Each structure stands twice: as structure tokens, then as C-alpha cells.
Amino acid sequence: MTATRWTPRALTAADLPGLLAVQRACYGEGFVEGAEVFARRLASPVNCSLVLEHAGEVCAYLAAYRSHLNKVTPLHGDFGGGPPAAPGSAGTAAPDTLYLHDMAVLPALAGQGLARALLAPMWERARHEGLRHSALVSVQGSQGYWERHGYAMQPLADAVQRERLATYGEGAVYMVRAIG
Ligand SMILES: CC(C)(COP(=O)(O)OP(=O)(O)OC[C@H]1O[C@@H](n2cnc3c(N)ncnc32)[C@H](O)[C@@H]1OP(=O)(O)O)[C@@H](O)C(=O)NCCC(=O)NCCS
């Protein structure tokens, strides 16, 4: 089975029951996030999440949004809320980072390129939009997986962001790669 078989589409509120089922199958209790926070994330203007279906059921998803470098979304946190505007400027700073909050593939379909099929168009769109970085928090021993996709661990200088990272527990790592 090749990655070209899988065509992602935008994640919608109607997908949330299926997303929660995939999430439960992939994560221990400690990482399960609720329907309410996912619904708020989907309603955010910075949301750009994708989903894959198989036989009419959600089988994989990539929850993502346009964010800022060195800014971590805590577990159960909302998408958005950029850094404050620079003095003298209007509004908040423009996003520069594609933030991958959560990616999960139904275990029965693992290793068949579904994750790659979600990531490739996500990075491509980010490149078109002029985002310069992609960032994420690696959990569940996935650091090696992300390194193979070009991400590298990046220390966080800001104490608030380190506290947000700590909501994922021991072993969680902030990682960044360039786009383009
Ligand atoms: C990580 C995950 C999304 C990969 O999905 P997938 O569709 O199986 O990935 P792909 O088929 O595109 O790629 C599979 C490759 O990734 C590797 N891989 C999968 N999980 C890995 C992990 N935790 N660490 C290192 N490599 C991993 C496989 O060994 C395989 O390698 P190969 O291509 O050299 O054979 C999936 O295993 C998953 O849902 N895991 C549970 C949720 C999770 O931990 N998400 C990441 C949190 S940051």
C-alpha cells in the first residue's frame, strides 16, 4: 500500500467522535484530550488540521495550527493566542511556525504511510503560506520518528513555555525543523 492511496481532507467537527476513538487507541490515559477542546481548536482561525478516512471511519488525524516559534501548546490547551504585538505595531505578530499538536494513526493501519500522507501536504501548504518553521512536542518515545523527518530538539529559554512542555510529563521534548 502506498502513501498516494491516502488523501487527507480538512478535519471537521463531524470527525470528532472518530478522532477521539483513534486518540484513545493510540495514547495512554495521560494524553487523552476531550471533545470540547478539539471543537474550540477547530473553530480557531489558525487551525489547519487534517484527517484521513478508511471505509467511512476516521483512521488518522494531524491536529495542527499556525503559531509562533518557541511557543508550546500545553496539554488540553487551545490553539492560537499569538505573542503580544510589538510596541507601535497593529495586532499580533504574524505566524511563522506550523505547530503540529497531535498526530495519531489507528494501530491497525500503522506503518502504511498514513502519517507521511498527512505530513507531506501539511508542510507543502506551510511553505506556500510563507511559514518558516515547523514545531511540535514529541511524546511517547516518538523523538526518533520526528528526527527522521528532520526535526531536532530545541531548548526553550522561556520559563512559561517550559512549564507548558512539562504538562506532557517526563520525556516530552520540544522539536523544530525548517520549512522550505
Ligand atoms: C507515530 C505514528 C503517527 C506514525 O504513523 P504511521 O502511519 O505508522 O507512520 P508512517 O507509516 O508514515 O511511518 C512509519 C515509520 O515510522 C516508524 N515509527 C512509528 N512510530 C515510531 C516511533 N514512536 N518512534 C520511531 N519510529 C516510529 C515506523 O517504524 C516506520 O519506519 P520505516 O518507515 O522506517 O519502516 C503512529 O505510530 C502513531 O499514531 N503513534 C501513536 C501516537 C503518537 O505517538 N504520535 C506522535 C506523538 S508526538
Residue 133: which CATH number? 3.40.630.30
Q: Which helix (H) or strand (E) holds 114?
A: helix 114-129
Is the CB–ligand 1 distance for residue 138 below 6 Å? Answer: yes
pLDDT in tens, 112-166: 999 999 999 999 999 999 999 999 999 999 999 999 999 999 999 999 999 999 9
Q: Looking at the domain assignment, is residue 171 inside a domain?
A: yes
The Å distance, Cα 139 to ligand 1 centre, comes to 12
Q: Looking at the domain assignment, is residue 128 inside a domain?
A: yes
Backbone phi, then psi, for 154, in 5-degree steps?
-130, 120
Measured CA to CA, the distance from residue 46 to residue 40 in angstroms comes to 11
Percentage of residues in the chain with pLDDT exceeding 90?
A: 86
The Å distance, Cα 111 to ligand 1 centre, comes to 7
Q: Looking at the domain assignment, is residue 156 inside a domain?
A: yes
Where in the sequence is the domain holding 169, given as residue range(s)?
A: 3-77+93-178
In which band, very low, low, confident or very high, does the pLDDT at 29 lie, cut at 50, 70 and 90? Answer: confident
Sheet of 50-54: strands edge to edge? 9-10, 50-54, 57-67, 97-105, 133-138, 173-178, 152-153
Q: Which helix (H) or strand (E) holds 53?
A: strand 50-54
Q: Looking at the domain assignment, is residue 129 inside a domain?
A: yes
The Å distance, Cα 26 to ligand 1 centre, comes to 11
Mean pLDDT of 72-80: 95
Whether 85 shows a pLDDT value over 70: the answer reads: no
Q: Looking at the domain assignment, is residue 82 inside a domain?
A: no
Is the CB–ligand 1 distance for residue 111 below 6 Å? Answer: yes
Domain count, the chain: 1
Is the CB–ligand 1 distance for residue 67 below 6 Å? Answer: no
| 19-32 burial code (b ≥16 CB/10 A, e <16) | bbebbeebeeeebe
Whether 78 shows a pLDDT value over 60: the answer reads: yes
CB 161 within 8 A of CB 70: yes
pTM above 0.85, yes or no: yes
Residue 5's pLDDT is: 82
**In this structure, which residue's CA is closest to atom 26 in ligand 1?**
145
Whether 41 shows a pLDDT value over 90: the answer reads: yes
Q: Which amino acid, residue 115?
A: A
